[in-house]
Homo-oligomer: A and B are copies of this chain.
Amino acid sequence: MGTSPDAPASAGQLASQLLGAMAYGELSAFGRLSTDSRYAPTLHDRAVLAKIAVGAYGNFALLNGRLSEMGTDPEEAMLPFQRAFDHFHERTRPGDWFESVMKAYVIDTVSSDFYRTIAGFLDPGTQRLVEQVASPDQATEVLRVLLRRALSDDPRLASRLALWGRRLVGEALTQAQRTGLEHPLLGPLLRGGGDARAKVRRLTGELAEKHAHRMAGLGLAA
């Protein structure tokens, strides 16, 4: 927990840290998405968001299972990340249904990009699991369709959701940087010398760029 990126963690430790962060992320996404689902405008939409929450639980269960297989207590692996994720959620409470859907979409996509980058430094087994959990999937597509529909039904939503998207990605990247620097997760990225903060800035720049591309795909200014 107090380990700085200068003290390189073993590959196994890094893998369990990454999977612990992802597991807590999925478990907290499950809780938030399912709570938000209650504010859906129709029972159909509520069921759609509930199904996405169930998918997050499925990812959590997969990650949990892998951590146990690795001999790591899943609860111990998750705990160091709890405060940062909870803090992120506290700071980004959606004001309504559309903000909930946007938040689900932004978290899903930005965190997937982040996890896959980190996994690129790890063993092939961990990489495969991360790819499985953090690839754009049906849920991502369903969220995009919900957002497109909402934006076409009420074009005035665009400026509000664009602003909300910027707020979300800003908070998400701040958390990702903090998590990466406080825990040894970003260790492999930072190894080999050079300015650590500059490397982290480059990574967050790349994540922000991919996000901007997705927002443009929705017709929103990022």
Contact = CB atoms under 8 A, between A and B. Distances in A.
Interface stretch (A11-19, A40-48, A189-197): A40-48
B43 A27 contact: yes
Report the interface size class on chain A: 20 to 34
Interface stretch (A53-61, A92-100, A177-185, A208-216): A53-61
A30 B31 CA distance: 10
Contact of A50 (B27, B37, B42, B74): B27
Copies of this protein in the assembly total: 2
Main DSSP-derived SS at the A contact region: helix
A60 to B, nearest CB: 7
Contacts of A199: none
Contacts of A38: 31, 35
A70 interface: no
Interface stretch (A75-83, A127-135, A153-161): A75-83
B51 A57 contact: yes
A35 B31 contact: yes
Contact of A27 (B47, B60, B61, B64): B47
A79 B31 CA distance: 24
Contacts of A35: 31, 34-35, 38
A41 to B, nearest CB: 12
A45 B75 CA distance: 10
Please provide the 5 A-B residue pairs with the shortest distance between their CB atoms, ordered closest to farther. A34-B34, A31-B38, A35-B35, A43-B75, A54-B57
